[in-house]
Amino acid sequence: RVLPLNFEGLDHQEFESDKFYSIEESVDYVSRWCKFQSIDMGEFVASIIKVFDKLEAKKNTFALIGESNSGKSWILKPIYYWAKYYGEIQGGLTSYNFMYQDCVGKRAIFMEEPEIAEGLIENFKLVAGGQATYL
């Protein structure tokens, strides 16, 4: 599912991104964020759960699309820890030899501002799908 987001006007000063919030605070912030984005909170959470728990075949991606430095990571980073076993690809997928090393045996793979070179797309699809492959 792709969610087109608009973060303009959102007051980031009131949010602290360097700590975990209580359950009540988390629900409040996510609720307010969803309301600002005109996203149904139940649908947003259900979409994340569907991807993480593989409830729909061949639907294994959750993307937030918006301006750079607009707060997308702020809403997703705490979800990394929910996945428990997650890998993160730093930077674009253009030529780095060990870009997948943190992705083997993980429940989720996170990428910020992904850029995948055309020659690496098929290999990435295998890795992201949990299939064995030689790189």
43 inside domain: yes
134 inside domain: no
Q: Say if residue 124 is exposed, middle or buried (CB neighbours under 10 Å; 0-12, 13-18, 19+).
A: buried
Q: Which residue has the higher pLDDT, 35 or 106?
A: 35
CA–CA dist 18, 24 (Å, integer)? 17
132: amino acid identity, one letter: A
How many domains in the chain?
1
- Rounded to the nearest 10°, the torsion over CA 25, 28, 34, 38 is -160
22 inside domain: yes
62 inside domain: yes
Nearest partner of 7 among 66, 74, 62, judged by Cα: 66
- Beta-carbon contacts of 71 under 8 Å, excluding residues fewer than 6 positions away, are 7, 10, 12
Q: What does the pLDDT read at residue 43?
A: 92
83-97 pLDDT, tens per residue? 777 778 776 555 566
Q: Which domain holds residue 99?
A: 2-128
87-135 pLDDT, tens per residue? 787 765 555 666 777 777 777 788 877 777 887 788 878 877 777 777 6
DSSP 71-92: SHHHHHHHHHHHHSSEEEE-S-
135 inside domain: no
19 inside domain: yes
Q: Is the pTM value of this prediction over 0.75? A: no
50-79 pLDDT, tens per residue? 888 888 887 778 888 877 766 778 788 777
100 inside domain: yes
Tokens read off for 114: 């992904």
